[in-house]
Amino acid sequence: MDKNTNEGLLATGTAPPLQYEYHDPETGNHDPELMKSDPPRPFTDSQPTVGYDFIPPVGTVPQPLIMQTLTQGILKLLYEKGSHYEGQTNSEGKKHGKGKCTYIDGSYYDGSWQDDKKHGWGELKLRDNTTYRGEFENDFKQGNGKLFMANGDVITTTFKKDRKNGQGTIETTKNQTIQVLYINDTEIRLAD
């Protein structure tokens, strides 16, 4: 650009349209006519919305995890809404000490409580007749326990946050004892 063009740009505040030159490296053709285009137009489309429909905001939890967590929380509230508790309570009216809570679906927990949570030794019987007898901590199966399955098998192992973890045994209804290792509920049968 020459000096006069620069001064004109500074005075008017606008730039002339850009000029492009087409160059095809394979054929070596230069054709400025191929690069002429319509003048630029303003962007009129609506901006993308932030949320689950298009772009999740930075730092948010993925939707399936949110739904899973919400569903678990809602189901727990519904589960406990129709429950019946007989036992000790603390000064705030929370389950605390020894007691039995029978839930709306017929399952029950009979054992130790601390601030409305299963804590200490107890028995949890589910509606499919699967029964856990063992240690609880902060509402989770935690520590040593036995799981009496509906099919008659008995699993003895260590639990960590409701999941089987560590070495254990499975006593089958056919009087077999199988040595197993559990890692986050995944069963690995050990060779004899």
- pLDDT tens-place string over residues 91-112: 998 899 999 999 888 899 999 9
**For position 40, what pLDDT does the model report?**
56
Please state the rounded mean pLDDT for residues 124-134: 95
| pLDDT tier at 85, thresholds 50, 70, 90 | confident
CATH class assigned to 90-189: alpha beta
What whole-number distance in Å separates Cα of residue 120 and Cα of residue 163? 17
Helices (H), the chain: 3-12, 63-81
Q: What are phi and psi of 32, to 5 degrees?
A: -65, -25
Rounded CA separation 177/181 (Å): 13
Sign for the pseudo-dihedral over CA of 165, 171, 173, 176: positive
At residue 52, the pLDDT reads 42
pLDDT of residue 93: 87
Structure tokens given for 80 = 């406990």
- Residue 5: is it exposed, middle or buried by C-beta count within 10 angstroms (0-12/13-18/19+)? exposed
Q: How far apart are CA 73 and CA 67, in angstroms?
A: 10
Count of other CB atoms within 10 angstroms of residue 119: 20
In this structure, the strands spanning 131-137 and 95-102 are unpaired
Taking only the tens place, the pLDDT of each residue in 37-75 is 555 555 555 555 544 444 555 665 555 555 666 555 555
Average pLDDT, the chain: 77
> Would you kindly state where each structural domain of the chain is located, as residue ranges?
90-189
